[in-house]
Amino acid sequence: MMHAFKKIILPISLAVAFSLNTVSISRGEVVVFDDVTTVQAPIRIKVLTKGRIFSEGGRRVDIYLEGNHLKKILTGADGYGYLKYIPQSPGFKEIDARSDANSSSGLILVMGKSEKAIVIDVEGAFKDALFSEKLRAASRKVLKALGKDYKVIYLSRFVGKGVSRSWLEKNDFPESVVLSWQGSDTFKSLDKNGVNLDAVIGSDSVISAAKNYIEHRYSFEKSKDGKIVKDWDEILKLLQPIPQPSG
């Protein structure tokens, strides 16, 4: 009973904590979802139009890529709209969506076939760093070091993309996409898009969902499907081992 209670309370506590540690987030009436793919692997740019509280369909949305207009689309009855996109070059692509007086932006990370990705579960990887500048500094330093060899992909499970991105920006973490958690389908989609998933850091639930897609799985909590690590320096040593001298 106590274990089940903790599983319910923890997501609520994390959501409150992250919200308190971010600047105020205004809810726009257009939402652009981040995504990850590889060069020439097609994806669908995804947007959502909202009213004051609930989704609002049947609205026209202009989609821009890197400032260039792509197309005007119409959102469905559920508020969601899609546009097929086939990237031709690697890098971050900024997507802007405009509907009437409302607008918002998102990122698409386009990876080269040989580039490696490391997935970071925001709530699971940083929960102990929320109220400790020392731990935040340690995790920030390691992620910036890993950024030399990996593309970072953030996952947001409870607090949403806006709160997660704001917290990451406020604490000077490497900028990248923030994906909404969809269970094992998150990894399945990334794998289908040709993304080379090399490592994941996060909670036990994320580690378990990644076991069929990612070889190197690390967690700061007990996990039957991943390696338990004591700190971020251990992760750095595991992912960037010091080369041994030849001979």
pLDDT tens for each residue of 83-135: 999 999 999 999 999 998 899 999 999 999 899 999 999 999 998 888 889 99
Place of tokens 């308190």: 20
Give the percent of the chain with pLDDT over 90.
Answer: 76
Place of tokens 């990370």: 109
- Mean pLDDT on 183-197: 97
Residue 156's identity, in one-letter code, is S
- Say if residue 242's pLDDT is above 70: no
Say if CB 11 and CB 158 are below 8 A apart.
Answer: yes
What Rg, from alpha-carbon coordinates, does the chain have?
19
Place of tokens 């900028």: 175
The residues of the chain that CATH labels 2.60.40.10 are: 30-111
The residues of the chain that CATH labels 3.40.50.1000 are: 116-239
pLDDT digit string, tens, across residues 220-239: 999 999 999 999 999 999 99
Q: Considering the domain 30-111 in this protein, what is its CATH number? A: 2.60.40.10
- Say if residue 17's pLDDT is above 70: no
Residue 43's identity, in one-letter code, is I
Place of tokens 């993304």: 195
User: Which two structure tokens, joined as six digits, stand for 215?
Assistant: 């070889």
CB atoms within 10 A of CB 131: 11
Give me the sheet containing 60-65, strands edge to edge: 35-38, 102-111, 91-99, 60-65, 68-74
Q: Which CATH number fits domain 116-239: 3.40.50.1100, 3.40.50.2300, 3.40.50.300, 3.40.50.1000?
A: 3.40.50.1000
Q: Which residue has the higher pLDDT, 40 or 10?
A: 40
Q: What is the pLDDT of residue 14?
A: 53
The pairs formed by 149-152 with CB atoms below 8 angstroms and a separation of 24 or more are: 149/116, 149/239, 149/240, 150/115, 150/116, 150/117, 150/118, 150/198, 150/199, 150/239, 151/109, 151/111, 151/115, 151/116, 151/117, 151/118, 151/176, 152/117, 152/118, 152/120, 152/176
Helix crossing, 161-170 with 2-20: angle to 10°?
60
37: enclosing H helix or E strand? strand 35-38
Q: What is the pLDDT of residue 26?
A: 44
